[in-house]
Amino acid sequence: MRPMNASAADRRVIGIDLGGTKLAAGVVGGDLTVHHRATRSSRGLSQEAVVELIVDVVEELRQQAGGDVPVEAVGLGIPSLIDQKSGSAVMSVNLDIANLPIRDVMTERLGLPIALDNDGNVAALVEQRFGAGRGMHTIISLGLGTGISGGIIITGKLFRGATGSGAELGHVTVVEGGLPCQGNCPNLGCLETMCSGNAIGRYANEFASENPDSALGTELASGRPVTGVTVNELAAAGDQDAIAILAKAGRYLGAGLVGITNTFNPQAVVIGGGAGAAAGEFILGPAREHLRRYGLKPNNEIAQLVPAHFGADAGMLGSAVMAFVECLDEPLEED
């Protein structure tokens, strides 16, 4: 369901979802219609290159939008711990970002008002207001992609922690003494390590190496990269090995959700991100079963485990919503 505020429908902002491997951006109206889109790779970029990437994409989209309905603000959702007071990206697990005053930098470079938050927070915002969590006051949002982003909304408000860097649910420990987490995270056995898109790809490569006669083994022998995308495609085609790998990731997701739902007692846990959207019930089903079996009642029964309504667009649209609300004072609620 989309907002119907007529006063905002004809206004435009740019929403940006910056991930560890991809940037997705769009020119978005107040009815959440995406008028123009742009995607770029963000893999392996330096901090300076990330800044230039954002600037280039915004300028490209402004040109596409033209002058009839000008872009009025930019919303940035980035996979970083955020200091809301200074507008800085303090550190990122999957990007080379540290102590970057990104709000001030982007305001100066773009000449537009900038709204800034963690990518998981903006996804939670749009899903709670207009998506899978609509009508609910307390939800958790998890985005399964290169890593795992998290967003928490309690009694209708984003929970950011003391400075803005809270809700890093992807770095909750689910396996004591487990595998080292990826990127800049110093922890072991994080949820991100066990059920992100990268984790699924790791499981698939291990299985393919040990089972060369399997469909995954054939993919590996062909020289094609075996990734989470490969697993999702084979699972959709009915391959039982791929289905089992997604179920394994789903059980780890469920283990993380037991602690999360026991802590926050949400009405819903919304699962999005590129990997989450692609895997769907192959991951959600086993996670839901694990949560029902091991979570405390009534928390495990109250929490609906549902796919994100906006799918892989949640981060981009959530950034746009944040820009409307914080920069343009448009609540985007129905008239």
Mean pLDDT of 154-164: 92
Query: Which of 323, 329, 326 lies closest to 25, judged by CA?
Result: 323
Average pLDDT value over all residues in the chain: 93
Residue 1, pLDDT score? 46
Other C-beta atoms lying within 10 Å of the C-beta of residue 22: 16
Q: Element (H or E) spanning 54, and its range?
A: helix 47-65
Predicted confidence (pLDDT) at residue 139 exceeds the cutoff of 90: yes
At 146, the pLDDT band (50, 70, 90 cuts) reads confident
Report helix, strand or coil for 138: coil
pTM over 0.85: yes
**How deeply is 162 buried, as exposed, middle or buried, from its count of CB atoms within 10 A (0-12, 13-18, 19+)?**
exposed
Mean pLDDT of 36-48: 94
Mean pLDDT of 226-246: 96
pLDDT tens digits, one per residue of 91-118: 999 899 999 999 999 999 999 999 999 9
Predicted confidence (pLDDT) at residue 164 exceeds the cutoff of 90: no
At 21, the pLDDT band (50, 70, 90 cuts) reads confident
At 5, the pLDDT band (50, 70, 90 cuts) reads low
Residue 277, pLDDT score? 87
Predicted confidence (pLDDT) at residue 2 exceeds the cutoff of 60: no
Residue 334, pLDDT score? 52
